Amino acid sequence: MIKIEKEVLSKWPLHDAEVIYLLTESGENGRVTVRLRLEINPYESLEPFTKLGITSSIIDIVFVDCNRVIWDVCGNTSNRDVLMDWDIKDNSAMYDELKKRGVPLAEAARYAHCHFEFNNGSILDILCSELSIEDSKIGKKE
């Protein structure tokens, strides 16, 4: 896994990337990790990914130490969800919720609110402390 800064995510060429899956894992320590597997649109440049050593058009964005995950998915559609818009939100209701739960401001500040909107109406919001990217290695010959 390659750790990335939250600001980098908003600059990646993810428009029209197809969602392959969203996987939520809960570790023995109670920490939640979310893996979003996307297939990058063939019309988008892979250059930002190849600079990181990623050679596949199928990538995993890994959200580590998630405090909150909200996945409002529209099912029974005629195709896969396609990413239309994504952003890192600095001030949001998710941060307000942390404050209401008594999370100290310094701890709340370490989280990034990653917001994704998809063509079929699905919305994904993740509050995580760390972001990584991984090459899915699907279809690669070793």
pTM: 0.88
Structure tokens at 53: 């050593």
Residue 139 has pLDDT above 80, yes or no: no
Going from N- to C-terminal start, the domains of the chain cover: 2-135
Per residue in 57-78, pLDDT tens? 999 999 999 999 999 988 877 7
HSE toward the beta carbon, residue 36, CA cutoff 13 A = 26
First to last CA, the chain: 18
